[in-house]
Structures are given as C-alpha cells and as structure tokens.
Amino acid sequence: MCWHLFQEATAHMVRKVSSGSSPFLITPYTDWPKCLPSKLAPIHIKPQAKQDVHQISEIAFLHKGTCVLHMKGRLFLMEPGDFCLVPADVPHYESPLQEETGYLLLWIRIIMPHVSMIFSEYKAERRDYDLSDGCIVFPGGNSHAVFTQLLEEERKNEDYKEAITRGLLLNWLGVIARQVGQMARTGGVLFNPRYNNVINAIDHFIKEHLHDPELRVSDMAQQLWLSTNYFIEHFYKMTGKTPHQYLLEKRLDTARRKLVETDESICRIAASVGFRAPHHFSRAFRRYYGVSPSAFRASVLTSK
C-alpha cells in the first residue's frame, strides 16, 4: 500500500464533503436511504470480519467499489464517497454486496492521542478480504471532540444539522489531508509489524545524526510523526529494546568499527559518534563490551 493511495483517498474525502452532495454520512441515528433489508444480507463474509467490537471510535470512508456496513442490526449500503461513523463499543462489520464486487474502504481510527488510517480491501477476483500492509499514525489533535460533535448533531437532528456536520468534517478532514501530504513529502513511515520500514527509517535518521550529542528519542519520534511515549512503546514491541538503548548500541557499534578500521584518536571517535567527552565514551564502551576502547584497539592490533 503506497502513500499516493492515502493521499488520493484523503483528497477524495475533502472533495466529497465540500461538494455538497447528500446524503453522505451514516451514523447509528441516521435515516439512511440506502439501507438494505436484512433478507438481502450478503452471504460472502469471512468469520473474522464479523462483529468487530472495540473501545475506539472509527470513521469508515468508501474510496472505491461498493460494500455493506453492518451496524446495530442495520445494513447500510455504501458507495464511493460515503462516510460511516462507528462509535466505540458498537458491534459492526463490513462485507461485499456481491461476491464479484470489490471495494476499498479507508478506516480512520481515533486512538487518542493519535489517529491511524488503514485500508480494508475485498478483492473480487480472489474472493478475499484483508487489511492493507501500510498504516499511517499521526497526532490526533481535536479528532475525538469532532467525532463526538458529529454524533451529537446527528442524534439531535435539529435545524442546520447538515451545514454544521459538513463544516465540522471539512475542517477536520482538511487538516488530516494536509498532514498526510506533509508526511508523504517528508518521508513518513507506513507502519507494518511484518516489515522493517520503521527500523530502516530510524536507522537512516540515526546514521545522519550520530555525531550529534543532542540527538534525543523525541527527535526520532518526531521523524515518524508520533508522540515520544507512543514511539517508545511501539519501538519496544518491534525490537525488544527502548529507542535509547538502540541509539546507544548504534553509537558504540560505530565506534567499535572505527577503532578497528581507522587510526583516528579515541577523542575524535568519541566525538564522531555523539559523546560529549572521551571519558563518557570510555565508560559506556567498557560497560557494554567489558573492555576499554584503548584496550580493545590494542587487542585487535595484537591479533593481526
């Protein structure tokens, strides 16, 4: 799943809301004209796609194709450009309308203080449903407040409801589309626990800034558009190490190789890998390798 598809879908969302076409928003309170009778419920549904219930709020946006969103016993037919607000703890699932009808559905998950975006896709030619490989995570801002306001407007169903909901959505989606564009241009990472793209991005950033003693974990988190706490937790799950441990290991491993491959002084090597003073470097090196930098270099020279 590539960045251009996330950019394409977020631009599609903004266009849809700003176009003024109705209806466009499904909620548990919506009188949706495209509801299906339960007897027409699609039968091609994988067991794992049924009855998704969790404690986060979500917004589904149909980017391509046609699908059915099942929520609270109702069947909502979704066509390209339709949105569906799914509150926390509400059972729901998606399915194709027909076996031969594929779709691409974008899920915006509000997991404060962050928001994530991921596609679910039904491929008609394979009769297969799956989540996309890539997932975007970015700061949530006022996302939870906007979601709550949208639900409340739909529930009250008062005058100018559509104008208010459209305005709320348009402002919020405009910010999201801008963030997605900025992340794509600045090398943001599509998360996937099955791949090493997060580690590769961090390795590249560390390599470019290894000499900087001011390099912090918060700087690494910012590269991925994440809060420091979320980044630390996510990174530890992937590597079994904290980002601080990982950075220190990178510094020391680079220094070790320089001790072997170059004749640079220990002072120069210490500075080149981000240590403020040689004695700080020597202490960290000894703690990690069990020997001082000078003794390590001497042992290598002796063995040659």
Residue 36, exposed/middle/buried by CB under 10 A (0-12, 13-18, 19+)?
Answer: middle
Structural domain count of the chain: 2
- Residue 50: pLDDT band by 50, 70, 90 thresholds? low
pLDDT digits (tens, 9 = 90+) for 274-297: 999 999 999 999 999 999 999 999
pTM > 0.85: yes or no: no
The CATH number covering residue 279 comes to 1.10.10.60
- Pair 180, 202 in one domain: no
User: Smallest Cα–Cα separation from 247: which of 225, 226, 274?
Assistant: 274
- Pair 120, 157 in one domain: yes
CA quadruple 37, 38, 41, 45: dihedral sign: positive
- Residue 195: pLDDT band by 50, 70, 90 thresholds? very low
Percent above pLDDT 90 for the chain: 49
- Pair 19, 150 in one domain: yes
- Pair 149, 219 in one domain: no
Strands 83-86 and 57-65: antiparallel
- Pair 225, 162 in one domain: no
Judge whether 192 lies within some domain.
no
Per-position DSSP letters for 104-148, written without gaps between them: EEEEEEEETTEEEEEEEEEETTTTEEEEEEEEEEEE-TTHHHHHH
Q: What's the CA dihedral at 43, 44, 50, 56 to 10 degrees? A: -120
Beta sheet of 57-65, edge-to-edge order: 25-26, 83-86, 57-65, 103-111, 114-123, 128-139
- Pair 103, 201 in one domain: no
Amino acid making up residue 184: A
- Pair 115, 259 in one domain: no
Is there a contact between 243 and 230 (Cβ–Cβ < 8 Å)? Answer: no
- Pair 7, 129 in one domain: yes
Judge whether 117 lies within some domain.
yes
- Pair 33, 56 in one domain: yes
Judge whether 191 lies within some domain.
no
- Residue 47: pLDDT band by 50, 70, 90 thresholds? very low
Per-position DSSP letters for 246-288, written without gaps between them: HHHHHHHHHHHHHHHH----HHHHHHHTT-SSHHHHHHHHHHH
Distance (Å, rounded) from C-alpha 106 to C-alpha 99?
A: 20
Q: Is the pLDDT of residue 118 over 80?
A: yes
Amino acid making up residue 303: S
Q: Give the pLDDT confidence score for residue 100 in this predicted structure.
A: 86
Lowest mean pLDDT among 22-31, 42-51, 93-102: 42-51
pLDDT digits (tens, 9 = 90+) for 229-277: 778 887 887 788 899 999 999 999 999 999 999 999 999 999 999 999 9
- Pair 78, 108 in one domain: yes
- Pair 146, 210 in one domain: no
Directed axis angle between helix 197-209 and helix 243-261, to 10°?
A: 60
Q: Last residue of some domain: 123, 157, 185?
A: 185
Is there a contact between 235 and 198 (Cβ–Cβ < 8 Å)? Answer: yes
- Pair 33, 176 in one domain: yes
How many C-beta atoms surround the C-beta of residue 263 within 10 A?
Answer: 8
User: Which residues form the domain of 267?
Assistant: 197-303
- Residue 98: pLDDT band by 50, 70, 90 thresholds? confident
